[in-house]
Every structure is written in C-alpha cells, then in structure tokens.
Structure 1
Amino acid sequence: MQLKTKFVLMVGLVTFCSYGVTFYRTSSFQEDLVVEQATRQAKMLFHQIRLTRQWVADHNGLFFVKQPGVENNPFLKEGAIRDERGNWLVKRNPAMVTRELSVYAAREGMGQFNVTSLQPINPLNAPDDFERRALENFSQGTPETVAIEKIAGSYRLRYMAPLEVEQQCLSCHSGQGYEVGDIRGGMNVTIPMGPAFAEIRTNNRMLLNIAVATILIVSLTIYVLFDLLVARRLKLLAGAMDRYPQGSLSTRFSAMEDENDEIGTLSRHFENLCSRLERSRRELDETREQMFQSEKLAALGRLVAGISHEINNPLGGMHNCIQTMKKNTDNPELQERYLELLAQGVERIRSTVRQLLNIGRKEPLEIKCGDVDSMIRDCLELTCLGRRTIALELNLGVQKPVWVWMEALRQVMLNLAGNAVQAMGEKGGVLKVSSRVSGSDLVVEVGDSGPGIAPEHMDKIFEPFFTTKEVGEGTGLGLSVSYSLIRRMGGELSARNAEPSGAVFTLRVPLTDSRHETGEGGIS
C-alpha cells in the first residue's frame, strides 16, 4: 500500500472517529436537552394543574348546570344541588376537573395528565405500571419520577410527582383516614416526544451528511496535496536513487533543489551523499588499482627469484657456444650447429622475458577475445619454472577464443597457481588445472596435493592481509585481490579441500558474445 493511501486512510479514520465522537455527543446532548426541556414543561404543567386543583378545592368545588355531557359525580356525597330557580347544579371536585381538562388537552395534541393513587375511589383513576412504581417510590421518599416510554408506537415523557393532603382536601377525603401532610396519591403528566425526536433525527441526518461530505472533501484534498507536494517529489528522488550512479549530479535534483522543506533538505543531503560516494569510489578505485599493481610486482619478484637460474642456464650454454665458435672459426658444421643452439637459447630467454613483461605491465582491465587455455599454460609455465618436483595435470577444454577479462584472469591464475606451488613446498606434488565452458560461464579449477586449508581458516582466506605464510613469504593480498577481481567480473571464486589432501579453487566468470567494456575501459 502506498504511503499516500496510508496517510489518507489514517487521516480519514481520525476524522471519522472525531466526527463519530462529536456526532454521538451532539446527538446525546440534543436528546438530553429535549428530555430536560420536556421535563421542565411537565413540571410546569404539573404545578399549573396542582394550582388549579387547589383553587377548585379552596372554593369547595365547581358547580355546573346539569345538561347532557355534564352528569352527576356518583362518588361525591353532595354531587348535585338545586338553585332557587329550580335548576340542578352538579359539582366538580379537583379530580374530575383534572380528568376533564386532560381530555381537552389530549384532544388538542398537548400533554395529558391524570391523578391516581394506590387506593382510588374512582376505578378510572387506577394506576398503570409506571404510576404504580412511582407511587411505591413516593412512599419511600422519592420526590418525583421521570421516564421515557414508547406507547402506541410513539415516545412520550412521563412525569409524576406526589400530591400531599391539605386542609381543603379533607372535605372530600376525611372519611378515608387521611391527615394533613399525607400522600394521598400522585399526578402523572405525559408529554408527547414524537415531534421532538423526529427533529433530533432530522438534525442527526444533517450532521451525518455534513460529516460524510467533510470527510470526503478533506480526504480528497489531502490526497491531492500529498500527491503533489510529497509523493511526486519522493518519486523523483527515488528515480534519482535508482539511476545512481548514472547521470550528472547537477541535473539529478533540478526539480527539488530550490525547495526549503524537508524533502528538499533530504534531496540536498542525498546529493551530498552521492558526491561523497563518487569521491570515495574514485579513491577506492585508485587504491585498488595500486594494490593490484603492487601484488603483480610482488608476484613478479617471486617469479624472477625462482627462474633466474633458468635464464642463466641458457646464457651459460650460449656463452660456451660462442667461445667454442671463436676457437673453431674454420669449422662450418660446428658453426651452423652452434648457431642453431644460440637461436634456441635466445628464443627461450625471449619467451620468458615476454611472459614476465605481460605480467608486470599495467593495462586497463577490459574484455578481450583470447585463448584462455594458452594463457593458462603460460601462467603455469612461469609459475613452475625451476620447480622440477611439480607435476602438471592439465585438462584444458575451452579450445576456442572467448571474450573474457583476459589480463585480470591472468593475474588470478598466477595468484592461484603460485599459492598452490607454495602450499606443496620443496617436496613438490601435483598441480591440477582444468578449464571448460559451462553454459555462458567460463569455469577454471586449480587444485594441489598440499596439506589443504585448515577448517578454521576457510572463512578468512579471502580477507585482505590474511596469510598463514611466514613473515616475508607473502603479503596476504593474493587471494583477496583474486576474489575482488572475480567479483568485479560478475563471477564467483570459492575454495574447498580435496580428497585425500590438497585444496581446490574454483572460479566462474560470465562470457560475452562480443566486446563489452564497462566504465572507462575498466570493470565497474
């Protein structure tokens, strides 16, 4: 998943959570506020009805002319009286006034209210479950009870508070054993909450739409800005990293070099890093080339010390031939035969010197088309000159010119063959060398019959300056240089112990079909 996608998802998630918490708290706050306002309305209505009841009680009830719809109250002792004109007047006590006002309020869609008790006189005033629980709580000292109930598919707030017996109440309720201050029942006020909750749902939908639109707009804006200000510039920086070390440093970061933000700073730091790496690489290449040349000269010195008497032998024979020819100037046959011997000696010395020059000269490490088998024979001939105790077993199977790093392979072969000869010591032994083409690789194996490589040294033999030879007998760079050369060719150099004794070094380097130089004529 891309960084900008993760960033947008995280910002969207944080925004969603923030809006979710805000939405939940706002919705809860709206509901709490509506419930609180409805409760206040219910309390206000409760006190208005209570005051109305008190006024009715203070005036010993209300009397209405008896007519259809205005009937006697069967639960009052003096429910009707007759005036001087002969009209019957029916009495309305506070309970009936309360009930009839509630009917009017319900008809107008307003709150309803009714009076009830655990021992009602009128069965119509019997309490329901909510009212019964509230009355029981009043007996335990609870001052009021509020609840939200769903009745007939709509929500309603129900508020109930106790009604205490006052002096005026005893005119109707004295026979029931009440005293002033007793709780004779309670009045329940019901406020419809459907419209308020519908408004809350409307507000919630509006808030939800605003939240979704805000999250989408913020996410899209962040996505575009992140892609423009961060992702594209990081892609440019990543492209410059992928192309490194190709390209010019002056043009590599042209799109970001004038920016003063974090990515611009990172780009400048990377450019500085590339500059330091290129400078270090040049210094390393120079040091490596000096090390390679030093190792060449060291190998050349060891070879010269070993073959000096091989050159002196033909020189001594040539000197004797010349002396004899001087003494026998009149013998043509002897002159001809000795001239042939002189020519052979000169050719032998010239061949040896040519091989030494090939080793000692400094040439760029480049791919050439050449005879690998012939190069291996030259290296072995030089390495084994003067060592008659060394027997060669050659199995050279390339048998055709190939494109390889010829001079680099020459140095590797001299190092490996020289190490093999030194490992076998004065007693000598068998030096086995094989070559072949395997697929698109050149494979060369150099083995000896020496004591082999100690197991504890196997992981260290290719490290620079590691050597098991005595002081003055080796620099510890031969195998390290060979390993570095093979790796620079894109190949592998490995070592193992042979059975029953000795060591075998195997090198594998890729071949090409045509000339292919890397860098400026060297190995990259």
Structure 2
Amino acid sequence: MASLIERRQALHRSLQQVRQQNQSLTSQLETLQPLATVGSLMCMIAHEVNNLLTPMANFADLALRHPEDQELTQKALVKAVKSSQQACKIMESLVNMAHGKQGEKTAVKISQIIGEVFTCLARDLSKDGIEVRLDVPGDLEIYCVPVQIQQVLMNLILNARQAMMPGGGILTIVACRSDGGVCIEVCDTGPGIPAQILDRIFEPFFSTKDRARASQEGGGLGLGLAFCKLIVDSHKGRLTVNSRPKTGTVFQIFLPNPADPAPELPRPERA
C-alpha cells in the first residue's frame, strides 16, 4: 500500500514538473514571438526596398553613362529620386503597420497607381518579349494607402514577368467595379503554378522560383506574395489566385468600398 502511494506521489511530482516546463516554454515562445515578427518585418522591408533599389541604380547608371545629354540625365535623376522617396515611404508604412498603424487612406485612380509602378520598375517589358495589355477605366478609383497598393501591384507584375521569362508572353491588368468594391486582376501566360503548392504560395519564405535563377535576379525569398497578402488583408480586402498548367496565373485583388466589408470571392477564371 505504501509503495502504491509513493508511486502516485512520484507521478504527481513528475506531472507538476512537466506542467512547469510547459509553462516555461510557453513563456519563452511568447517572448520570442515579437522577435520573430520583427525578423519577418525586416525581411519584408529588405525585399521591398530591393525592388526599388534596382531601378534606382539603373537610372543613376543611365545618367552617369550619358553626361553629355542633359535632358536624359535630368529625367534619369528625377526618376532615381522618385524611387528613393518611394523606398522611404514603404519603410515608413511597414514600420507603422508593425506598430498597429494602418496609414492614411485616400481615393486614388488605379490607372495612376499602375503608371507609377511601371515608372518605378524602369523596365521595358517588350524587350523581354512581354506584351502589356491594360483594361483599366481612367476614372476608376480605389480607397487605399496608395504606396502600399502600388507595392502590391509591383510585386505581382515582377512575379508575372519572371514567370514568363525567358520566352515572353502577355501581361494583362484588368480593373472593374465589383459588388461592394473594386476588383483588380494581374494575369500572365507563364507555365502556371502546380496545384499541389497553390495553397502555400502566400506563406512567408515559400517560393516557387528556382533558387539559382532567383538569386541572380535578386528574388526568390518567398516574401513578395506574403507581403501582398498582408497589405490586402490590412485593407480588409481579398487576394486570391487561380493557375492552370501551361496556361498561366491570375491574381485577383478585391478592395472594398470604405463602408463595405469584402465579400467572399469566387476563384478567378481565365477567359
């Protein structure tokens, strides 16, 4: 009898030690979680700034190589300054998000945002064999933090370009009014995303790109789409994807009107 009681007491002591260890581990995880968030945030900032540093360097290089052409040099330097200002805004915007601040929303024309994206990209996609097709009403506006949605579209356009390299293809951007808001689609005619990983593409640090090739192009960290989803979610919108092998990929952004919540979106279908 005494032996049974002793075994029970020993078992209770063991259970108590396990509980204490679990509590200690939980406390450590709670302490480390903000650090993990900061780490992810810093990686996202680096990813987005890198997207802007490349065209800045290209503009500066263009100015240095043609000092005799004052008009060209001035245009290149103006665009370099604009890209640097954009980088500052992105960093400020992400840091504000880390502190729980959304940023100031305003009504802005989608065509204006898309125009600024292509200006910042400093890429002539036709030289890559890519035809750009735009179907965006000139007066169509969205209510958003402009710098954030500009970066979302930049990421999606860069991803579409990389998906269609080196063979080229068609990049289509469509925008229209939808029930309770505005829908924007970015479509490419690349090889598509395998169905078995489609549900994972918005996960941080998950990438579908070839590591060696992506490294040469300055990408492949698997943060661009995670960043896009973070931004669209913060606007109470939806970011969805549909992809078919050998056909291409469609990313669909829904941004609600100021007073309307985002409805559940059907999966986008290609024409």
Q: TM-score range by the shorter chain?
A: 0.5 to 0.7
8 Å contact 2:185–2:253 — kept in the other structure? yes
What residue in structure 2 maps to residue 435 of structure 1? 175
Please list, as runs of the form range in 1=range in 2, the aligned pairs for 1:332-371 lying within 5 A after superposition: 342-361=70-89, 362-364=91-93, 365-366=102-103, 367-371=105-109
| Residue identity matched to 1:399 | D
Larger radius of gyration: 1
Is residue 454 of structure 1 aligned with residue 194 of structure 2? yes
Q: Distance between the aligned counterparts of 1:512 and 1:281, measured in 2?
A: 32
| Residue identity matched to 1:412 | V
8 Å contact 2:56–2:79 — kept in the other structure? no
2:68 match: secondary structure: helix
- Deviation for aligned residue 1:363: 2.6
CA deviations over 1:95-135 (Å, ceiling 9, x no partner): xxxxxxxxxxxxxxxxxxxxxxxxxxxxxxxxxxxxxxxxx
- Structure 1 pair 281–368 and aligned structure 2 pair: CA distance change class (3 A): farther
Is residue 512 of structure 1 aligned with residue 258 of structure 2? yes
Q: Distance between the aligned counterparts of 1:353 and 1:429, measured in 2?
A: 31
CA deviations over 1:244-273 (Å, ceiling 9, x no partner): xxxxxxxxxxxxxxxxxxxxxxxxxxxxxx
8 Å contact 2:229–2:239 — kept in the other structure? yes
Q: How high is the TM-score relative to the length of structure 2?
A: 0.67
Q: Distance between the aligned counterparts of 2:244 and 2:227, measured in 1?
A: 23
What residue in structure 2 maps to residue 392 of structure 1? 132
Q: Distance between the aligned counterparts of 1:381 and 1:391, measured in 2?
A: 16
CA deviations over 1:395-449 (Å, ceiling 9, x no partner): 1126255421222211211111111111111332221111222233221110111
What residue in structure 2 maps to residue 297 of structure 1? 49
Q: Structure 2: 5+ residue runs without aligned partners?
A: 1-26, 94-101, 260-271
8 Å contact 2:47–2:223 — kept in the other structure? yes
Q: Distance between the aligned counterparts of 2:92 and 2:165, measured in 1?
A: 32
- Structure 1 pair 420–360 and aligned structure 2 pair: CA distance change class (3 A): farther
What residue in structure 1 maps to residue 166 of structure 2? 426
What residue in structure 2 maps to residue 405 of structure 1? 145
8 Å contact 1:300–1:360 — kept in the other structure? no
8 Å contact 1:384–1:421 — kept in the other structure? no
Q: Distance between the aligned counterparts of 1:278 and 1:509, measured in 2?
A: 33
Is residue 489 of structure 1 aligned with residue 229 of structure 2? no
Is residue 474 of structure 1 aligned with residue 212 of structure 2? no
- Deviation for aligned residue 1:383: 3.1
- Structure 1 pair 363–371 and aligned structure 2 pair: CA distance change class (3 A): farther
Q: Distance between the aligned counterparts of 2:44 and 2:138, measured in 1?
A: 27
- Structure 1 pair 474–458 and aligned structure 2 pair: CA distance change class (3 A): same
- Structure 1 pair 460–410 and aligned structure 2 pair: CA distance change class (3 A): same
2:182 match: secondary structure: strand
1:363 match: secondary structure: helix
- Deviation for aligned residue 1:346: 0.9
Q: Structure 1: 5+ residue runs without aligned partners?
A: 1-274, 322-341, 514-524
8 Å contact 1:464–1:476 — kept in the other structure? yes
- Structure 1 pair 377–498 and aligned structure 2 pair: CA distance change class (3 A): farther
What residue in structure 2 maps to residue 416 of structure 1? 156
Number of residue pairs matched?
215
- Structure 1 pair 303–418 and aligned structure 2 pair: CA distance change class (3 A): farther
8 Å contact 1:296–1:411 — kept in the other structure? yes
Q: Distance between the aligned counterparts of 1:320 and 1:354, measured in 2?
A: 22
| Residue identity matched to 1:480 | A
Q: Distance between the aligned counterparts of 1:430 and 1:356, measured in 2?
A: 29
8 Å contact 2:56–2:80 — kept in the other structure? no
Q: How high is the TM-score relative to the length of structure 1?
A: 0.37
Q: Distance between the aligned counterparts of 2:56 and 2:159, measured in 1?
A: 16
- Deviation for aligned residue 1:279: 7.8
Q: Distance between the aligned counterparts of 1:429 and 1:280, measured in 2?
A: 45
- Deviation for aligned residue 1:355: 3.2
Q: Distance between the aligned counterparts of 1:462 and 1:475, measured in 2?
A: 12
8 Å contact 2:193–2:244 — kept in the other structure? no
- Structure 1 pair 391–512 and aligned structure 2 pair: CA distance change class (3 A): same
- Structure 1 pair 280–401 and aligned structure 2 pair: CA distance change class (3 A): farther
Q: Distance between the aligned counterparts of 1:448 and 1:373, measured in 2?
A: 19
Q: Distance between the aligned counterparts of 2:236 and 2:29, measured in 1?
A: 21
- Structure 1 pair 426–314 and aligned structure 2 pair: CA distance change class (3 A): farther
Q: Distance between the aligned counterparts of 2:195 and 2:245, measured in 1?
A: 14
8 Å contact 1:436–1:442 — kept in the other structure? yes
- Structure 1 pair 314–283 and aligned structure 2 pair: CA distance change class (3 A): closer
Is residue 383 of structure 1 aligned with residue 121 of structure 2? yes
Q: Distance between the aligned counterparts of 2:84 and 2:252, measured in 1?
A: 25
What residue in structure 1 maps to residue 12 of structure 2? none
- Deviation for aligned residue 1:494: 0.9
Q: Distance between the aligned counterparts of 2:141 and 2:251, measured in 1?
A: 23
- For the aligned residue pairs, the C-alpha RMSD in angstroms reads 3.1
Q: Distance between the aligned counterparts of 1:464 and 1:512, measured in 2?
A: 28
What residue in structure 2 maps to residue 502 of structure 1? 248
Q: Distance between the aligned counterparts of 2:192 and 2:165, measured in 1?
A: 12
Q: Distance between the aligned counterparts of 2:60 and 2:187, measured in 1?
A: 28
Q: Distance between the aligned counterparts of 1:369 and 1:460, measured in 2?
A: 32
Please list, as runs of the form range in 1=range in 2, the aligned pairs for 1:108-257 lying within 5 A after superposition: none
| Residue identity matched to 2:150 | R
